[in-house]
Amino acid sequence: MLRPWLGGWWRWPASTTVGSLVLAVVAAWLMLWYAERYGTNEAFVEDFRGWIGVAVLSLGIWMALFVRGVATVRAHRRMWPQGRLWWTWHIGAYALLVAAVVALLALNNATQTIVVPIEGFAVVTRALILLAGVAAGPWVLTVWLAHEQLRTLRFEVGQIRSPEPAERLAIEAVDGPAISAAVQHSLAVWTVIERSALSLAVLVSTAVFLSGALRLALINSGALDEAVFPVSAVLGYGAFFAVVLAIVVIPLVLAWRSTAMRLVEAALGVPRWGIPDQTWLDAQDRLLTRLRLDANVLRRPISALSIASPLLTAVLAALVPTT
């Protein structure tokens, strides 16, 4: 009787909470031990504790996002199946994307001017970048999977029978079943956009905040002069990740909006004389609201926050006063 009940004990909320806390303590202890063992500046090691706290928090967020991302990918693999070739190619493409981002970061020669007084710290930095890339992987794959679904959505929109041009819109003349199916599909893609954009924004924002915490530790301890690691460096780091995030998310948002607008046009047709009656206008407003098209893409909170969050995080990190 107890065996099925005890079989999933690691999934209990209490087990998750305690396990996460233990992992956080172990990770913090290992980082502190490493800093004390290989650090070459005692004052910096003391201030480095703040960076360790930010790093442990970031690792916890990345782990949670990765687990959630994998679950999301699995759910959408059942909803929107793709062949093995598609997954192989896109996983390989994502690996190339991560390599390109790492290469671009390496081109700024920051490691030659910003020297952290801990032996081998560059290895720690690379490991964190790799972990962040792994955590972001499922969400980027979900974005690309949503791109594929837009093709299906465009086909569904093309199958909608538009009402014949008339002076007044007759609701019974619209192709209800086809419109309903296309609307549900469009909303499913938008849900992917929201969740993926927000998850990626949180992930890259923590990476930017890590850079700000490192700058604070280096300057406060006197290990580095503020002129060597200026505020502009953190802001540039945030701007770089904002651009990367925009490159991943914005094309999907624009393609989705274009397809959704086509859905509205196909669903309601065109007024006979080009002048819509109030029924037509009311139906258009309701459909635009239903499809989340009632506001400009970048004026929607989720879109604006997702794209701007790395830069906003950099501003906040840079504004923290140094002593």
Per-residue model confidence (pLDDT) at position 91: 93
| Rounded to 5°, angle at Cα 14 from 10 and 16 | 50
Residues 6+ apart with CB under 8 A from 119: 38, 39, 40
The whole-angstrom distance between residue 91's C-alpha and the CA centroid of its chain comes to: 17
Sign of CA dihedral 22, 25, 29, 35: positive
Q: Which of 213, 292, 198, 209 is nearest to 245 (CA)?
A: 198
Q: From CA 47, how far away is CA 27, in angstroms rounded?
A: 17
**CA trace torsion 102, 108, 111, 116 (10° rounding):** -100
CA distance 158 to 291: 17
For every one of its 323 residues, what pLDDT tens digit does the chain have, with 9 covering 90 and above?
444 444 455 566 777 778 788 888 899 899 999 988 888 888 888 888 889 998 999 999 999 999 999 999 999 888 888 889 999 999 999 999 888 888 887 776 555 567 888 888 888 888 888 899 999 999 999 999 999 999 999 999 989 888 887 777 777 778 788 989 999 999 999 999 888 988 988 888 888 888 888 888 888 888 888 888 877 777 777 778 888 888 888 888 889 999 999 999 888 888 877 777 788 888 888 888 898 887 665 555 555 555 556 555 555 555 554 55
118 bridge partner residues: 39
- pLDDT computed for residue 5 by the predictor: 46
Cβ count within 10 A of residue 103: 9
Q: Tell how far CA 53 is from the center of its chain.
A: 22
Q: How high is the pLDDT of residue 281?
A: 85
Q: For the chain, where are the alpha helices, taking DSSP H only? A: 2-7, 13-38, 42-79, 84-106, 110-113, 121-158, 176-220, 231-268, 278-290, 301-319
Q: Are 248 and 200 in contact (CB under 8 A)?
A: yes
- State the Cα–Cα distance between residues 93 and 141, nearest whole angstrom: 10
Alpha carbon distance 238, 307 (integer Å)? 11
Quote the pLDDT of residue 2. 44
Residue 315 in tokens: 């501003």
DSSP string, 6-24: HHTGGGSHHHHHHHHHHHH
